[in-house]
Structure 1
Amino acid sequence: MPYEWTSPPQSTPQTMRLWAHNSLPPRGMAAFVLATFTLISIPVLPLLGSPLLWVLLPFTLAAVWALYAALQFNYRARQISEELFLGEAEARLTRFNPKGDVQEWVCNRYWVQATKYDRDGPIPHYVTLRGQGREVEIGSFLSEEERITLFDDLQRALKR
């Protein structure tokens, strides 16, 4: 599960950390790009010493570079995390965006409500926190099943 309570569920100040799931770690990405380069190079090997090699080589290198650039872009976009703090009197949601900016929402814990929009939100099972005149999303980068579980966990935590 790409979220966890970093404090015991029975304790009063509770903290939950959420992060985007990265199925391909940096080492796996390097191995994949190397394997792709190797496999793309196999048809080019018979052309060694031929002028046709210089015609095909830029295209093969461009394909490998485009694959690497797309994977890097995706990896950077997935560097998003959120932290929910539920104290005695306040609830605070902090979102750390991929570009480095930080967004924060603070509310009196008594007024916080977790809401799940099954079909009305931008994504299925859209989970939000509402309070102090604002409604903020939480865990939008999680999978559908994870958002359902997150909503249940939030309901339990907010009832205490």
Structure 2
Amino acid sequence: MPIKVITDHTQGAPASSGAPSSVVLSLELWPHQSLTPGGFVTMIGATFAMLMVPLVGLLGTAVLWGVLPFELLVLGLLWFGLKRSWRDRDILERFEMTTDAVTLTRRDPDGSLRDWEANPYWMRVERHERVAGIEDYLTLEGGPRKVEIGAFLTPEERRQLERQLLNALGRVKS
């Protein structure tokens, strides 16, 4: 599951208003990555082996040199496509809710960081049924702007995330 709970104090007693700021909920979210490094090696190796099978019959002929560059091009494009897919999915969102502040930090595939901060007493979690073809679109409101959270998660995972966020928000507001 692409949600890692670092801290979850939503089940305890409500925080007292005079207590120092403490972390109520801390999460890390990332897109699902089904292809492991070992799977990448296996995929490239298996593709290489399958591409070389037709070349066995062409060994010792001039046609081999006409077909070989295209097969190597196919293998190179597969390599590039898989690496690009990994890089595009290198996203990490860190959500932290304390009794005083809520922060969401997103690291994009290019390494840039985007931050959002709000007061938990003014924050709202909204789930929209369908936005531009995305089911159960989840947003946070209450800071300088509305932000999405977990856009790369499945609808079921977004509903679970919404429950976690609402539980933590209820604990902070009580």
TM category, shorter? over 0.9
Structure 2 counterpart of 1:38, from 49, 54, 79:
49
The aligned residue for residue 2 of structure 1 is 2
Deviation at 1:4, TM superposition (A): 2.0
Deviation at 1:133, TM superposition (A): 4.1
> 3-state DSSP class of the match of 1:134?
coil
1:20 aligns with 2:11: no
- How many pairs are equivalent? 160
Deviating beyond 4 angstroms after TM superposition, the runs of 4 or more aligned structure 1 residues are none
> Which runs of structure 2 are paired with 1:7-156 in the superposition (5 Å)?
7-10=7-10, 12-13=22-23, 14-121=25-132, 123-156=134-167
Overall identity of the aligned pairs, in %: 36
2-structure distance, mates of 1:141, 1:73: 17
Give the structure-2-normalised TM-score. 0.87
Deviations 1:63-110 (A, max 9, x none): 011111000000000100100010111000000101000000011111
1-structure distance, mates of 2:8, 2:96: 13
2-structure distance, mates of 1:54, 1:132: 62
The aligned residue for residue 17 of structure 2 is none
If asked which structure has higher relative contact order (CA below 8 Å, sep 6+), I would say 2
* Higher alpha-carbon Rg: 2
- The RMSD of aligned alpha carbons is 1.3
* Range that drifts further, 114-123 or 6-15: 6-15
Structure 1 counterpart of 2:161, one-letter code:
L
Give the structure-1-normalised TM-score. 0.95
2-structure distance, mates of 1:9, 1:56: 62
